[in-house]
Amino acid sequence: MPVSTKTEIVGAKEAIRSLNKIEPGLRKQFAADATRIAQPAISEAQRRYQSVGWGSTKVRGVSQNWQQNGRKLLPWNPAKAARSVKIRLQGDRRKTAVILIEQRDPGTAILESAGRKTDNALGTALGFIKPTTTRILGPALYSRRKQVTDGLEKATLEITRRVQRELN
């Protein structure tokens, strides 16, 4: 049975959006702190990308050049996949997520989710995946979820308190 965890801190989105208004560079400092706090999960994902066998001959085609609309997507490179795991702060009013850990390499993102929605040859070669998961990034993040969530919760609450103090 899949388990889902959602941590919601009321006012966090507005506080993060207001950081630069209060003190220039404060949002940048919060982003650096968030990256430091999320580093165990990012490191775990990077380690798993280095050890995965997608570049082997087991999965045909991932070591070949693949371009779509002039954009180079493959060959897959484990070092590039590991470097492309990033944290992003999102202050858009229309979004619900504020802090995201994401895979920025398009080729790796394709391999992460191939076969989730519909059966296809690439998804079959990589192995079964549930429609709501990813192959490497999701399990790596969930293995460090408690540590990262607790740290980000503390940092977000602290920044929310600071914004409220400054505005009042």
Structure tokens at 167: 């505005």
Q: Say if CB 131 and CB 123 are below 8 A apart.
A: no
Question: pLDDT tens track of the chain, all 168 residues?
Answer: 333 445 555 566 676 667 767 776 777 888 888 889 889 988 888 888 887 766 554 566 667 777 788 877 777 777 887 888 888 877 666 666 577 788 888 878 777 777 778 877 777 777 777 777 777 888 888 888 888 889 988 888 887 787 778 777
| Beta-carbon contacts of residue 3 (< 8 Å; ≥ 6 apart) | none
CA atoms within 13 A on the CB side of 53: 8
